[in-house]
Structure 1
Amino acid sequence: MNYQTAGRFMDVYFGRFLTNGGCGYVLKPRYLRSDNIDMIATPPSSVATGRLSISTNLYASNTPQILHIKIISALHLPRPEQAELKANSIDPYVVVQIFGLPPDSDEVRTKTVYHNSENPQFNEAFEFEIAFPELALVRFVVLDDDSLDYDFIGQYTLPFESIQTGYRHVHLHTMGGELIADAYLFVHIVINSKCLAVKPHRSLSRYHYSLMRRKLRIASFRPVYHKQIDDLFKSAIQPLEAAFEYRHTVEQSLYGLNEMCGLPDISNVKQCVRKIATRLQKANLVGAVAIRNKSNVPIFEYSTTLPELSRQSVVALEQVTNQCQALIDNGTVIHKKLVSVQTEISDLSKDIPSLLQTNGLRGKKIIKAIDNFSCNLALLHGQTDLLEKAKDDATITIRQILEAAETTHLLLSSDE
């Protein structure tokens, strides 16, 4: 690191080390550390000696995320500090940049608000898919659209992992990294796990085609040319496909709930429960819907004479609960099966070179078989971790329904 001139690269550099007090050291993500590599592939020359070991899935601990940022407004923006050919007013706009691996890198900007430095209103939302969150940084930059010589107003850069969700004030800094007094961006941030993220609506044929492709990729195991090992991988196909179906059903039920409540795709279940409660209050039907907490699972009780829209919204919420609970219950059984398969495969991996040589594989064929084994193992680890994360998200969703029901007085006490 030898940057000396203030600017974007220094902003990213300082942002990277925000989490550790600026000491100049950040621990690598788990999947990039050597202590996460159980087995490392050795050179082809070692195949003949039978000392070959296998590289496992380095990225199993990584969870892709979807970042939703709404730039609401700014407060007390100064003039560009080095601008000379400029009037007293400014025309600010905001740029949001994602720095990380090439698939994650992105940049968007808001509209320009003319002649307003005190409280410009932007009210624009953006969405970013972050494949490797631990390596990504987010940079907020405020620029002047009418500056003739120098347009920089302020910026703030921080690691993705340090972002706090909800309504937040982003403190702006100068190009040199000094805090600008009383200058802020006002933003709203939501972060969703990609495994439960709500997807935009697509045509039916395109949707089914995409769904089929996703399902095929889940269990696309390559041949290892050893019957026992190939059979073990094949035994994981049905559990993996079942896990995909449960995750997909939860995903669709969440989309349907947002649609019924008339809320944006990024809305969470708490917002949906509040929307349903508001509709009931406006229609003087507060007691027509009740939710009981039975062993931390919402049980719905509602009148069949509810207005159609309210009834459909409650049914959609009940559907989300049922699908999340199904994912939790069945996902636990599926996870045990997948872990059992992984254990058997891991036991065999210790003797994989000799097993393949006994099967008559030599030279490039044995190297190809070992590469296929590594890919299969990585796929199996990744899908198993994804199922576990989806179960955790489903548990959180059910808890949020109960919490929102309590705050909106839809939750019945145990003695009612």
Structure 2
Amino acid sequence: MNSSNYNPLSAWMHGAQMVALNMQGYGKSLWLMHGMFRANGGCGYVKKPDFLLKAASNSEVFDPKANLPVKTTLRVTVYMGEGWYYDFSPTHFDTYSPPDFYAKVGIVGVPADTMKKKTKTMDDNWIPTWDEVFEYPLTVPELALLRIEVRDANATGKSEFAGQTCLPISELRKGIRAVPLYSQKGVKYKSVKLLMRFQFV
């Protein structure tokens, strides 16, 4: 027996009213839960999209696997990150050199929208500057979450966690934003942030 979790989005996209998660099982599933409930001011209540509240005119219920047209495209620019030097010891990531950060930026949602992309690795730099642009066509943006994770690449091939956040697409505001990152347990870092730009095209 362990403290693992399933992907809560599987239940949310089928209209489940309440989804139980193991709060000891820190990891991607709880990050998604934190991201979903950042919506609506973080009050703990998120209204379902209208298409999950009532059936269509032909009495059909929403099918997450349906072939739907693209409603909007999210363009994400990842400019840079900073703050690790203040929140971590100089030897936390690498004993003899600065960390080698890269960012994973992906969409979690219905199968057609789910995708992962990754920046290049910035070697030996506490303040990585990626300046990369990614685009995500979305068929059901109402159920989509933007998942961001920064990791430190190691020569052994096993990377080390350096921060994460998860944001509901429906709540993203256009423009350049300083996006705070969180620990694996969902605790907000004091200084670590990413400078990003969000556009809907």
Question: TM range, normalised to the smaller chain?
Answer: 0.7 to 0.9
Deviation at 1:32, TM superposition (A): 1.2
**Inter-CA distance 80–65: structure 2 relative to 1 (3 Å threshold):** farther
Q: How does 1:300-379 map to 2 (within 5 A)?
A: none
Displacement after TM superposition at 1:38 (Å): 6.5
Match of 1:197 in 2: none
Matches within 5 A, 1:249-268: none
Provide the rounded CA distance (Å) in 2 between the counterparts of 1:180 and 1:63: 35
Deviation at residue 76 of structure 1 after TM alignment = 2.0
| Alignment pair present for 1:126 and 2:131 | no
Q: Retained in 2: the 8 A contact 1:86–1:147? A: no
1:234-293 Cα deviation digits (max 9, x unpaired)? xxxxxxxxxxxxxxxxxxxxxxxxxxxxxxxxxxxxxxxxxxxxxxxxxxxxxxxxxxxx
Contact (CA 8 Å) 2:106, 2:115: kept in 1 or not? yes
The one-letter amino acid of 1:77's match is W
Q: Cα distance 1:159–1:174, how it changes in 2: closer, same or farther (>3 A)? A: same
Q: Quote the residue 1:183 is aligned against.
A: 192
Equivalent residue for 1:136? 144
The aligned amino acid for 1:174 is S
Question: Aligned-pair distance for 1:65?
Answer: 1.0
The alpha carbon displacement at 1:30 in A equals: 0.6
d(CA) in 2 for partners of 1:16, 1:57: 22
Matched, 1:65 2:38: no
Match 2:183 to one of 148, 171, 174:
174
Contact 2:93 2:152 in 1 (8 A): no
- CA root-mean-square deviation: 2.7
- Which of the numbers 2, 15, 22 marks the counterpart of 2:35? 15
User: Which amino acid in 2 is paired with 1:131?
Assistant: T
| Distance (whole Å) between structure 2 residues aligned to residue 134 and residue 75 of structure 1 | 30
Distance verdict in 2 for CA 1:146–1:27, change over 3 Å: same
Q: Separation in 1 of the partners of 2:120 and 2:140?
A: 29
- Report which of the two has the higher share of strand: 2
Residues 380-414 of structure 1 show CA distances to partners (whole Å, capped at 9, x for unaligned) of xxxxxxxxxxxxxxxxxxxxxxxxxxxxxxxxxxx
Counterpart of 1:162 (choices 171, 183, 186) is: 171
Aligned residue pair count = 172
Richer in helix (by share): 1
Q: Deviation at 1:124?
A: 0.9
Letter in 2 for 1:121: T
Deviations 1:38-63 (CA, angstroms, capped at 9, x unpaired):
75xxxxxxxxxxxxxx437969xx97
Match of 2:6 in 1: none
Identity %: 29
Which structure 2 segments of 5+ residues have no match?
A: 1-19, 64-68
TM-score by structure 1 length? Answer: 0.38
- If asked which structure has higher relative contact order (CA below 8 Å, sep 6+), I would say 2
Q: CA deviation at 1:77?
A: 2.2
Secondary structure of the structure 2 residue equivalent to 1:18: coil
Q: How high is the TM-score relative to the length of structure 2?
A: 0.75
| Structure 1 alignment gaps of length 5 or more | 40-53, 193-416
- Deviations 1:317-346 (Å, cap 9, x if unpaired)? xxxxxxxxxxxxxxxxxxxxxxxxxxxxxx
Aligned partner of residue 84 in structure 2, secondary structure: coil
Instruction: Report the secondary structure of 1:164's partner residue.
Output: coil
